[in-house]
Amino acid sequence: MAIFVNENTKVIVQGLTGGQGKFHGLRNRAYGTQVVGGVTPGKGGQDVEGIPVFDSVADAVKATGADASFIAVPPKAAPAAILEAAMAGVRFIVCITEGIPAQDEARVFNTLQRDFPGTRLLGPNCPGIISPGKCNIGITAGEIAELPSTKGPNVGIVSRSGTLTYQALYELKQKGIGVSTCVGIGGDPVPGTSFVDCLAEFEKDPETHAIIMIGEIGGSAEEEAAEFIKKNVTKPMSAYIAGVTAPAGKKMGHAGAIVSGGKGTAQGKMDALRAAGVKVGLNPTEAGSLMAEIVAGLR
């Protein structure tokens, strides 16, 4: 089945006429995703290699029936673009934009929660989502994702790190293990979709038989996930936490990846996950090997 998106998802690209929007939007379409339109104010009536462009998300949704949006616009324009999509009735929004101020992220997140509970935001600052063979929204290379098998076992992936999202996909592909859905939630302080959100969906998904979780230092998302896993997740899991050697007080890559006040350490997160019954690898390859062992036991 997959989670969040599938072969029936219709996608518009906000920023399709820009360099990044065009490049990744066309790659998503080439993968097989239903990219049905683009949005750039003032460029309505044009097209990008056969994809019609509209002046507003509302116009695009009315004309195409789109229910998902891929936002590839600069940081200054991204918050308004997210809310425009929500107001147009888009149910699933993927925002890859990096560098949005945390206060803007918080404002948008709270607005969505209050006024648009039927809309889910993935990101910002994330690689997006891929349900292999069905739908790819964002910047993940589809060729590194192993298609799920009808009999399984198939693995769901959720990750804070973009690069490690790709590595997790490729580790499984090398082992011939199918993926139901891979979700990159992004590493900013206020993500629209959390580990817990994804774990809850994977737990319900009959096509997902095991789960890999990739976390990193900073914040408490992994500890919150561990508590959720203890109470709600019955499917076997492996995990990796990036940043074991990170010095305290120094931001490491992501805006949210910082150890402060003795909290948010890699060791603390690994301990919490192990206590929840998750097999924790010391590097991404080991996490993949642990998952291979889990999958072998499910066959």
Partnered with residue 53 across adjacent β-strands are 38
Q: Evaluate whether 6 touches 134 at the Cβ level (below 8 Å).
A: yes
On the question of a common fold for 10-122 and 141-298, the answer reads yes
What is the C-alpha to C-alpha distance for residues 94 and 245, in angstroms, rounded to an integer? Answer: 31
What is the C-alpha to C-alpha distance for residues 159 and 291, in angstroms, rounded to an integer? Answer: 15
pLDDT tops 70 at residue 247? no
Q: Can you give the pLDDT at residue 141?
A: 96
pLDDT tops 70 at residue 185? yes
- 24 as an active site residue: the answer is no
Q: Which amino acid is at 219?
A: G
Under the banding of pLDDT at 50, 70 and 90, the label for residue 231 is very high
Q: Are strands 279-281 and 68-71 parallel, antiparallel or unpaired?
A: unpaired
pLDDT per position as a tens digit, 258-276 = 554 455 789 999 999 999 9
Domains in the chain: boundaries? 10-122, 141-298
Identify the residue whose tokens are 């919490």. 272
- Average pLDDT over every residue of 104-127: 97
pLDDT tops 80 at residue 255? no
Q: What's the CATH code, domain 141-298? A: 3.40.50.261
Choosing from 120, 235, 254, 279, the catalytic residue is: 254
Under the banding of pLDDT at 50, 70 and 90, the label for residue 216 is very high
Identify the residue whose tokens are 């050697």. 245
Structure tokens given for 44? 């309505």
pLDDT tops 60 at residue 135? yes
SS3 of 218-265: the string is CCCHHHHHHHHHHHHCCCCEEEEEECCCCCCCCCCCCCCCCCECCECC
Under the banding of pLDDT at 50, 70 and 90, the label for residue 149 is very high
What is the C-alpha to C-alpha distance for residues 257 and 278, in angstroms, rounded to an integer? Answer: 22
Q: Evaluate whether 11 touches 28 at the Cβ level (below 8 Å).
A: yes
Angle, alpha carbons 253-94-72 (nearest 5°): 75
Helix 221-232 / helix 266-275 crossing angle, nearest 10 deg: 0
pLDDT tops 60 at residue 102? yes
pLDDT tops 80 at residue 133? yes
Under the banding of pLDDT at 50, 70 and 90, the label for residue 243 is confident
Task: Tell me how crowded residue 202 is: count the other CB atoms within 10 A of its CB.
Answer: 26
**10-122 domain in CATH 3.40.50.2300?**
no
